[in-house]
Structure formats: structure tokens, C-alpha cells
Structure 1
Amino acid sequence: MKLKMTGVAFAALAIVQACGPAPTPEAQAARQHEIACVSGTVGGSLLGGAIGNAFGGGSGQDILRAAGAGAGAVAGSRYSC
């Protein structure tokens, strides 16, 4: 439980740090682009995994979930980057 809370605290700290202002406008634009790429990839992966989860059964469902998550990550990355 302690390890889980430490991970959550570290993730929250990283998110707050990533959203802070950059020293130059160019660095800020690069940071915003990077955040958009990561969020598109993660969002696509979650959506693809959820869609893949709706099909199949047993180990086939696990395979479809993983394939959906991978395809969603690629599509989300292409769309947001």
C-alpha cells in the first residue's frame, strides 16, 4: 500500500511539473506538443483496449484487448502528433 501511494504521489508531482511554465516560448510550445502526443497515445490505448475487451472470450479476449490497445495507441499518436 505504501508503494502504491508513493507511486501516485510521484505521478502527481510529474504531472504538476510538466504543466508548469517553460523558460522560453519555444520550450513551452515543445512541451505542449509533447503533452498532446502522450495524452493522445494513452487515450487511444485506453479506448482501443476497451473496444478490444468487448469481443472474444477467455484468452482470445486478452489477445483482442492487447491488439486493440496497441492499435489505439498508434492511432492516437498519429492523430495527436
Structure 2
Amino acid sequence: MKKSSILAIFAAMGLLQACATTPAEQRQVGCAGATVAGALLGGAVGNQFGGGSGKDILTAGGAVAGGMAGNNAAGC
């Protein structure tokens, strides 16, 4: 994924959080942002290992693990 796409995703999440009016809505957007950020980072790390179909599996596994870690880190 290109850096510009990643930046656009984070900008959209920031704008959505700014539009949230209640603390519950802000928490939901924050949890989604943490999950997406963790998944992107985990996928990027997983993509550095393996080769062929193993690389795809590690990328997907890293994205799942990163998403779960980001969600837990945010306290969701």
C-alpha cells in the first residue's frame, strides 16, 4: 500500500473522531483507528518475512495479530 493511501486513511479517521459528539462515539472511532493502525503495522512487519505463498500467509497473520494488539492496546 502506498504511503499516500495510509495517510489518507489516518486523516479520515481523525476527521471522523472530530465529528463524534459523544464520548461513546469518540471511543468507537478511537478503537477502530487503533485496530486499523495495528493491522497496517502488523501486515507491514509480516510482509518482511517468508517468500511465495508463505509471505502472503505471514502478511495476513501479521495484519490479524496487529489489529488485535492495537485493539487491546487501546483498551477496547
User: TM-score category by the smaller chain?
Assistant: 0.7 to 0.9
Residue aligning to 1:29: 23
TM-score, length-scaled by structure 1: 0.69
Length, aligned pairs only: 65
Q: Structure 2: where are the runs of 5+ without partners?
A: 1-11
TM-score, length-scaled by structure 2: 0.74
Where in structure 1 do 4 or more consecutive aligned residues deviate above 6 Å?
none
Distance 2:23 2:43 in 1: 30
- Of the two, which has the highest radius of gyration? 1
User: Over aligned residue pairs, what C-alpha RMSD do you find?
Assistant: 2.1
Give yes or no for the alignment of 1:77 onto 2:71: yes
Residue aligning to 1:64: 58
- Cα drift, residue 16 of structure 1: 5.3
Q: Structure 1: where are the runs of 5+ without partners?
A: 1-11, 23-27
What is the one-letter code of the residue matched to 1:59?
Answer: S
